[in-house]
Each structure stands twice: as C-alpha cells, then as structure tokens.
Structure 1
C-alpha cells in the first residue's frame, strides 16, 4: 500500500464518506450524476433493440437509505420498456466502521446485483459470493447462484471475482444456465487477462457469458468461447456495447465429472513415475584394480 499513495488517499476518502456522509454534498451530487448516466446509456441500449441491459460491477455507489429510490427507478424503467435490467450496485452502509471489539473493520459495503423483469418485478438479489480478500469490506453471499427462467433461456448473475472459483461456477452447468451475467470491475494491470480467465468458466459449463467490465476488457462469448463482441474500457469512444448472444446450455464432461482431466493427468503422471521406479536397474560397475609396486630387496 505504501507504494500507491493515490490509493491510500482514495481509501481515506472512502472511510470518511462512510463515517461522515453528511459532509460530502459534492459526492452526493456526483453519485446522482452517475446514476443519471447509467439510465441514459440504458435508454440508448433499449433504443438500439436491447432486451436485456447489464451494468458493470458497482456501477452505482450509493448510500443504503438511497437504495429504495434507485430500485424504484430501475423497476419503472424495466416496466416501461419491457426489458430485463441487471443493476449492479455498491451499497454503502454508513456509520462507524470498526467492529465492536475495535480490532477489525465491519463489512460496510453490499456488492450486489438486482435482476428486474420486464414486468418491473425484482426476480432476485445476488450478493457477491467471494469478495476480494483484504481489499473488499463487503457482505458475502450464501454461495449459491440464483437462476431465472425466461422466454430466451435460463439466466444467472454472478460478480467478477466469483468466476475465479471453479467449484462455485460448476453450478452453471448443474443448473443448465444458458447465459451468465457477470458484471465486473478490473484495472489496467490485470486487463485483459482476468476477462479471458472467465471465458474458461463459460466453456467448462457450456453457457454463454456476458462480462461487462469497468476498468478493463468487456467480453461477450458463446458456450464455445467464441468472442461475439468486446469493448476495451481504456479505449476512447462509447461505453455502450450491443450484442446478440445465444442463451442455451450445452452439456459438457466438466459438468458431469468435474475436474476429471486434471485428476486423470495426475494419475497418469503417478503411473509413469511408478513404472520408472520399477524398471530401474542397478548399474554394474567394474572393480577397480590396484597395482602395488613392491620395492626390490
């Protein structure tokens, strides 16, 4: 942390915002502007024919008391345009951040998604199952990935770092998910590698993937890993991507047997080692002759 003074300063600002929210009217105005921008982009997506709108991870950072108003706005938007909307929120729970014992920081953030149906109803609320250790003081989910059956196929949300956990992602194949909605937030040092890592989860579990990213590479792929659209968050231009994705699940060996290939490779390697040990023969060495020269009397 000492190597990144800008990050330290940002963290100090965030902690002050959490503990003393009333002191930051300009911050509140910036939050409102960000929300307006999200709905403006969502409106443009709908005008271009989108039937599902996906925000990137934590697109809207807001206080807990402001959440009902934003949800009502999202529900009205979905109902008015008859579209699915996946809102990705970073909800801050203000107040003292230190736990009662005074030795740790309490989780003061809800990193979550809220999926709203075309009728304006909330289908599910998903909390990130695997907050990034040491850097993300947020409430973790229950380990489950919720699903929603639609006219297009089965949808499921998850968030960013969750896709690094293969065991959690196996639910995609087990639940026959057709499209994984994976809002994410990266930074330049891990982009685009983190996005390509997530593609493996789609291929393993036979589903399409929509990984909408802030601060990185957004990727939209089918169940074979074929990239159908991409957007570089560091490139100039629009932050809106329109893509048509298949929403169907294909059964895979990984879904049925898990990490069978890795275990098979380990077993094969062990077999080669045992065979080499059994075939090992001792090396016969010729005796070394020693010539003694006796003195002549």
Structure 2
C-alpha cells in the first residue's frame, strides 16, 4: 500500500514538471506571456521538493537548457559549441535557486522557509549580471505591467525577480500545509500585502506624475545600417572605395538630420554605428556636422564608428559624439560593454554629460543591459539618456523593453534610435511617447516630445542594496537551517 501511494506522489510530481514545460516556452525567448512566469516556478518548485535533491535539480537544469536552446536559438549572436555552452550555463543558473530551496527550506519553517527561493533567485541573477551578458535572462524582463515595473525605481529589477519567486514558495506552502496553518496565513498575508502595496505604489506613481515641460527630439534612420556598410567594406577592392561608400552614408544621415532640425527638433540622433567614418576623414566629417548644428541651432548625438586602415594597430571606436547648437563638440562616449566577440576599443565606463535643456547623457546599445553602469545617469540627475542601438529581429522587442526598464530605474527619459530593431522614446516612468519598427518602417524621421526633467529614484540613490540584502538574507537563512538541523540531530537520541 505504501508503494502505491509513493507511486502516485511520484506521478503527480512529474505531472508538475510536464505542465511547467509549455509555460517555460512562453516565459522565455521572443514571445512572452507574463503570467506564465508566475505559474511555472510554482509547478517546478513543487516537482523539485518531491524529488531527491540531485535528481530534481538536475532535471530542472536539463529542462531549462532544452527550453532555452529552442526559445533563444535566434536571440544569441553565436552558434555551434559556444551556443550550447551558453544554453547549458543558463540552464544551470536557472536550477540553482531550486537546489538552494531543496536544501534549506525543509530545514526552516513558516515565513523563513518561503524566503529561501526568492532570495536565492535574486542572488543568482545579481551574480550573473557581472558576467559578459549582463542582465540578459532575468525573470524581471518577462513582466510588462507598467504599475508593477515602477518597483524597479526602488529595488531595480531584483524586486520583480523576488516577487515572482516568492509567489512560488508561498504557493507551495499553501499547497503543502493548507491555508489553515497559522504560519502559512502569516506568510500569505505578508506576500499579498506586499504585492498590493507594489501595485498601489506603481499606480500612484503613474497617476500623480506628469511632466510640466517637454523637449522636441528626433531620431533619423536611413536605408544604411552597420551590417550593410561592413558588407561593402569586406568586398571593396581599395581604401578609396570604402571611403566613398562611407561618405555616401554620412551625407545621407546629415541630410536627414537637417530635415529633422528644420521641422523643430532640439536634438537629433541616429542608431549605433549607423555612420561609418574612416579615421583619416574624422575631421572633415565633424566639420560638416558642426556646420549643420550651428546653422540650425540643434544638438546632435551621433552614433559613429571610426575605423582605421586594415592592418593598423588602432582599434575601432564605436561611440556617440555630441555637438552643440554653437557648433562645438561637447562630449563623446565610447561603448563600454562590447558584445562578446565584437571588435573595438571599450570605453572607461564613465557616462558623458552634456548641459542642454536639462542634463543629457548617452550610452550605446549593449551598455543598457548593465544596470550598475546606467545608474550613473540616476546619480548624476540625467534628464535624458540617448542610447543609439543596433539589434536584430529576434531580440528587438525584448531589448527595447529592457532599455525601458533602465529609464524607470533611474528616472530618466530615454531616446533609443535603433537600426534592425525598435526605435523607442519613453519618459522617466516608462510611458512610450514614440515607437518605430525598423522592419516595417526602414527609413524615417521620428519626432517625439519627451519630459524636459527627470525624476529622482530610490534605486539611483541606493543602488543594488536590495540584491545585496537578498544575498545576505540567504546566508543568514542557510545559517539558521544549519543550526536548526544540528539541534534536530542532537535531540533525536533523547527523543528515542
């Protein structure tokens, strides 16, 4: 009879795993169903808790690896062995919080037991954010509700990750002990109160904040992009041919920028590396850009790629050059975080600051995936962050959403001109003011009116204190589980 009931529990356990798999497919990758990211961990945690430690955690890692290898197939910019190593790493990271919960939660009780899983999830995500891929893969990016996302202005993305995983552990507490348990009632009440408070805070923040003044800004996107130019460069027979091609792109973008200035833009910008500039032609190009800015009294934030001659020991410079309405170069900033395998010279990690109609700054594309870098914008009271970018179709939606969250975290407006992706203009609270899809509108001049002033945020002031607190909390929970386990072993002989 006992084996019969064990068999039924075993079957139900694997049923949870089976039900979780389709949810994982829509909680990762290109197409996200936000609610799936709340439900899947509930089922997976139930599965792991009913399995032996090694088997349960290993199966979750294998399943996660398999799902990521499918849903991220077109999102990862490399293939072959590197791709499978990446997906295996993602699967392992995904499984670690489940392993921590399996070891520790059963040795604790009540509220403390429910905190192990979310604390472990935040700790793993935060540690991974220091790797070469930044915050890619964070569970927080599955959420679209703007009221919920206001939590990132206080905790960063780590608060969203915590809530998602705490929901799973509280749900499992109810599943295992029943809602009649006083300890479960306490944990559930605290969880529900926090979720309600988060949504009320987000709703109030959106309802009671409105910009008093706006600034007209424009993004220009032409038929040229980074990939098209570098294809020409590879096929060119001489440096002169390459320079002629680069000059044609420069003329095209300066012409579009002039058009945007004429229709009233105070700032004009364009995508990452959209304009190639041979090193020997840098001065001539800047002279033309300075003349345009002075003639039309407009700011330019130009995404350029300065490249040396083949065989030179000098490296590419992927950067944003700022020119003021008086025709002077105000600042420039190199891309700090290069995509793994991307050639070029990395920046120092200091954001350029431009005093204009407020405080303006810039980063380049992949930089937006590293919250610790972008937090400079919040600390320096940046009102508008310009982020020239270049994507591809598989990551277009996800990457634009990630960028929007950086704006909410730091209370800054965001202007993100993007080739092969989504051009986005958002306010400091994440509201979309303008949006254009490169794949449906390949050439455009897009105008937007963005708030002239940003807003202060707790996250900008305190940084990743919530993530550090989760890590410290996990250590304390592990210590408590160890002490309690030792007491139980010591009490066993007396009890017998």
TM-score, structure 1 as length reference:
0.80
Tell me which residue corresponds to 1:249: 454
Secondary structure of residue in 1 paired with 2:404:
helix
1:65 is aligned, of 268, 272, 280, to: 280
The structure whose residues are more often strand, as a share, is 1
Where do 1:223-242 residues align within 5 Å? Answer: 223-236=428-441, 238-242=443-447
Q: Larger radius of gyration, structure 1 or 2?
A: 1
Counterpart-to-counterpart distance in 2, 1:94 and 1:192: 36
Alignment of 1:49-60 (within 5 A): 49-60=264-275
- Contact preservation (8 Å) 2:299, 2:323: yes
Q: How does 1:194-213 map onto structure 2 within 5 Å?
A: 194-213=399-418
Counterpart for residue 239 of structure 2: 21
Note the residue ranges of structure 1 that are not aligned, 5 or more in a row.
98-105, 286-297
Gapped runs of 5+ residues in structure 2?
Answer: 1-77, 81-226
Name the residue aligned to 2:385.
180
Question: Would you say the 8 A contact 1:20–1:95 is kept in 2?
Answer: no
1:108 & 1:16 partners in 2: Cα distance?
20
Provide the secondary structure at the position in 2 that maps to 1:34.
helix
Write the distance in 2 (CA, Å) between the matches of 1:223 and 1:131.
26
Q: Once the two structures are superposed, what CA deviation does each residue of 1:68-127 show, in whole Å capped at 9, x if it has no partner?
A: 111111100010001101111111100315xxxxxxxx5531111111111111101221
Is 1:38 equivalent to 2:245 in the alignment? no
Equivalent positions of 1:113-124 (< 5 A) are 113-124=320-331
C-alpha spacing 1:248/1:259, structure 2 compared with 1 (3 Å):
same
Once the 2 structures are TM-superposed, how far is the Cα of residue 273 of structure 1 from its aligned partner? Answer: 4.9
Equivalent in 332, 338, 354 of residue 125 of structure 1: 332
Contact 2:354 2:360 in 1 (8 A): yes
| 1:35-114 equivalences in 2 (<5 Å) | 35-96=250-311, 106=313, 108-114=315-321
1:164/1:2 Cα in 2 relative to 1: closer, same or farther (>3 Å)?
A: closer
CA contact (8 A) 1:94 1:108 kept: no
Equivalent residues of 2:246, 2:278 under 8 A apart: no
Q: Tell me if the contact between 1:192 and 1:217 (Cα under 8 Å) persists in the aligned partners.
A: yes
Structure 1 residues 176 and 96, CA, compared in 2 at 3 Å: closer, same or farther?
same
The structure whose RCO (Cα within 8 Å, separation 6+) is larger is 2
How far the C-alpha of 1:274 sits from its partner, in A, is 4.8
RMSD: 2.7
1:15 CA drift (Å): 5.4
Q: In the alignment, what sits opposite 1:264?
A: 469
Contact 1:187 / 1:215 at 8 angstroms: preserved in 2?
yes
Structure 2 distance, partners of 1:165, 1:130, is: 8
CA distance in structure 1 between the partners assigned to 2:231 and 2:331 by the alignment: 33
Q: Tell me the number of residue pairs that the alignment of Structure 1 and Structure 2 aligns.
A: 266
2:92 counterpart residue number: none
Structure 1 or 2: more helix by fraction: 2
